[in-house]
């Protein structure tokens, strides 16, 4: 393997309303000598969020008081209400993507419970790591699941649906407060739900999007998996996320993740406890600009592009969840003729683990690039992620209007269905070289692909307004 050197800028982001930039040393990449497409710039950016007191000690006492008063009112109406609850067994995941989501991922786990009671930098999560935070008078008491990438855009799209981790009764509910907060100022006006379980423990779900909470009210029962609201940025928050916090019947903090350094429980509270590290690429995409919008609370422009012409800048961007020192990312680009035109490795060598990060590589598209569809395969954390882009083709940007648009199933064996593409007029299927292999007028929102050979294809849609949409699918 040849070794090429590219200047790397390391950009720690301390909040989404304030960024600091620091130029670091050289990034080493091992590039295959057979590669004909060579990146011109490489940048890795770790993302950190401003530390916030989700709820102060005083506000926590106020919430507990409200919970207790509501509990008394519930019991006054029905003394058997809590006794009749379905027995608590174990938690399911407290959130899910909205229907139709087809990307690789949409969140990171940013912060865990802090098990070291000492303030100001004495950090200890359940796994004896430091994926948590504290302040002078505050230790983080829950788990933060952050929308990533494009948190404000994802919030606008209602991407993260908060659901009940276990059955119980709603004992507190707030839903009408502002959901675009950008200050960690102890703001007590959070939207969310508090649920009491059959054993007396409670689960607090915080920072919902305004007016997104379930129509159920205090005193109503919910079942595991029932919709509660949409992740937002209400209360003391600077980024759309869900803060999930558990307390036992005595009001004592419980960290539901079992681990060596968790003294609050010896048994996991999860049906299936997720691994501490989940190395994953949430999104793999091509862009016409290296810009990454980060102003709070502005809905991000993704600057995505899928078709490029001579002289264009092509930016290949990867959005990571959980990238550790020594983790290797392999980037492989295959030309329309099936020949691998770029193949190189990058090793994360900063010596620090990052729950949330992104990296990009830039390329200059020239007349030497073949016309057609290029396939990008990224191998990271034991999995392979794929996307496509076109050079001098009819591919359209995939991130357009009609955000609820989706196709299913994907991969597909027989019939591919199209959902939420208004006024559908025609459908075309292109092969990996950009050649049309099938075309139909859109009488129905489906297309039969049974006779196509196995492989990767592009579905190109057009509506009566001549608007186009393209999306990749796999034929099994």
pLDDT 10s digits, 81-98: 999 899 998 999 999 999
401 has pLDDT over 50: no
**Listed residues 357, 379, 398: the one ending a domain:** 398
Among 9-13, 34-38, 189-193, 306-310, where is mean pLDDT lowest? Answer: 9-13
Q: Does residue 415 contact residue 446 with C-beta atoms inside 8 Å?
A: yes
**Listed residues 337, 364, 398: the one ending a domain:** 398
Supply the range of the domain harboring residue 279. 1-398
What was the pLDDT predicted at 366? 97
Distance CA(65)–CA(338), nearest Å, equals: 66
Tell me the percentage of the chain whose pLDDT exceeds 90. 61
| Mean pLDDT along residues 425-443 | 80
Query: Are 42 and 149 contained in the same domain?
Result: yes
434 has pLDDT over 80: no
Distance CA(404)–CA(152), nearest Å, equals: 16
Query: Are 74 and 205 contained in the same domain?
Result: yes
Query: Are 62 and 136 contained in the same domain?
Result: yes
- Find how far residue 131's CA is from the centre of its chain: 18
What was the pLDDT predicted at 349? 83
Distance CA(53)–CA(392), nearest Å, equals: 51
472 has pLDDT over 70: yes
Q: Name the domain count of the chain.
A: 2
pLDDT digit string, tens, across residues 234-253: 998 989 999 999 999 999 99
Q: Does residue 203 contact residue 194 with C-beta atoms inside 8 Å?
A: yes
| Mean pLDDT along residues 408-429 | 83
pLDDT digit string, tens, across residues 173-216: 999 999 998 877 778 899 999 999 999 999 999 999 999 999 99
Q: Which of 182, 239, 183, 159 is nearest to 206 (CA)?
A: 239
| Mean pLDDT along residues 454-471 | 79
Query: Are 243 and 315 contained in the same domain?
Result: yes
**Listed residues 338, 370, 398: the one ending a domain:** 398
Average pLDDT, the chain: 87
What was the pLDDT predicted at 305? 93
pLDDT digit string, tens, across residues 46-85: 888 777 677 777 788 889 999 999 999 999 999 999 998 9
Query: Are 459 and 323 contained in the same domain?
Result: no
Query: Are 213 and 70 contained in the same domain?
Result: yes
Q: Looking at mean pLDDT, say which of 98-107, 148-157, 179-188, 288-297 comes out highest.
A: 148-157
Query: Are 353 and 335 contained in the same domain?
Result: yes
Q: Looking at mean pLDDT, say which of 28-32, 162-166, 404-408 comes out highest.
A: 162-166
For the record, the structure tokens of 67 come out as 């919970």
411 has pLDDT over 70: yes
Distance CA(82)–CA(197), nearest Å, equals: 8
Query: Are 289 and 427 contained in the same domain?
Result: no
Query: Are 10 and 158 contained in the same domain?
Result: yes
Q: Assign residue 442 the CATH number of its domain.
A: 2.60.40.3080
Query: Are 81 and 155 contained in the same domain?
Result: yes
pLDDT digit string, tens, across residues 14-52: 233 333 333 343 355 788 888 899 999 988 888 887 776
What was the pLDDT predicted at 8? 40
Query: Are 465 and 331 contained in the same domain?
Result: no
What was the pLDDT predicted at 55? 73
Query: Are 308 and 451 contained in the same domain?
Result: no
CA-based radius of gyration for the chain:
24
pLDDT band at 261 (very low <50, low <70, confident <90, very high): very high
pTM score, two decimals?
0.84
**What count of other Cβ atoms lies within 10 Å of the Cβ of residue 404?**
12
360 backbone dihedrals φ, ψ, rounded to 5°: -145, 155
């Amino acid at each position: 393997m040849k070794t090429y050197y590219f200047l790397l800028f390391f950009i720690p982001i301390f909040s989404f309303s304030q960024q600091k930039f620091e130029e670091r040393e050289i990034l080493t990449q091992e590039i295959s000598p057979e590669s004909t497409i060579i990146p011109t710039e490489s940048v890795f950016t770790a993302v950190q969020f401003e530390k916030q007191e989700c709820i102060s000690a005083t506000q926590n006492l106020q919430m507990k008081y409200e919970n207790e008063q509501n509990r008394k009112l519930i019991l006054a109406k029905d003394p058997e209400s809590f006794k009749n609850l379905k027995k608590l067994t174990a938690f399911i995941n407290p959130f899910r993507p909205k229907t139709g989501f087809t990307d690789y991922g949409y969140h990171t786990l940013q912060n865990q419970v802090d098990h070291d009671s000492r303030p100001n930098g004495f950090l200890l999560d359940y796994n004896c790591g430091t994926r948590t935070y504290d302040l002078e008078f505050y230790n983080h008491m829950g788990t933060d699941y952050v929308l990533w990438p494009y948190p404000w855009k994802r919030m606008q799209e209602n991407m993260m649906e908060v659901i009940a981790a276990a059955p119980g009764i709603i004992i507190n509910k707030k839903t009408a407060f502002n959901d675009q907060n950008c200050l960690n100022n102890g703001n007590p006006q959070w939207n969310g739900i508090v649920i009491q379980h059959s054993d007396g423990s409670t689960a607090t779900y915080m920072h919902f999007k305004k007016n997104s909470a379930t129509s159920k009210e205090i005193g109503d029962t919910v079942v595991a998996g029932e919709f509660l609201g949409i992740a937002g940025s209400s209360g003391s928050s600077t980024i759309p996320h869900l803060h999930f916090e558990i307390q036992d019947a005595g009001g004592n903090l419980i960290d539901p993740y079992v681990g060596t350094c968790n003294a609050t429980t010896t048994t996991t509270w999860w049906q299936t406890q997720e691994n501490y590290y989940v190395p994953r690429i949430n999104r793999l995409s091509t862009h016409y600009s290296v810009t990454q919008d980060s102003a709070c609370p502005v809905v991000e422009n993704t600057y995505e592009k899928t078709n490029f012409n001579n002289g264009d800048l092509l930016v290949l961007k990867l959005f990571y969840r959980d990238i550790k020192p020594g983790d290797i990312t392999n980037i492989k680009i295959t030309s329309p003729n099936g020949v691998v035109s770029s193949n190189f490795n990058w090793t994360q060598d900063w010596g620090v683990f990052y729950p949330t990060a992104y990296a990009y590589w830039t390329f200059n598209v020239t007349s030497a690039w073949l016309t057609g569809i290029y396939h990008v395969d990224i191998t990271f954390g034991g999995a392979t992620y794929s996307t496509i882009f076109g050079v001098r083709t009819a591919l359209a940007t995939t991130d357009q209007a009609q955000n609820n648009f989706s196709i299913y199933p994907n991969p597909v064996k027989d019939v591919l269905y199209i959902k939420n593409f208004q006024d559908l007029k025609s459908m075309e299927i292109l092969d990996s070289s950009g050649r049309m292999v099938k075309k139909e007028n859109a009488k129905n929102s489906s297309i039969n692909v049974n006779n196509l050979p196995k492989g990767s294809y592009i579905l190109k849609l057009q509506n009566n307004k001549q608007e186009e949409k393209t999306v990749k699918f796999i034929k099994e």
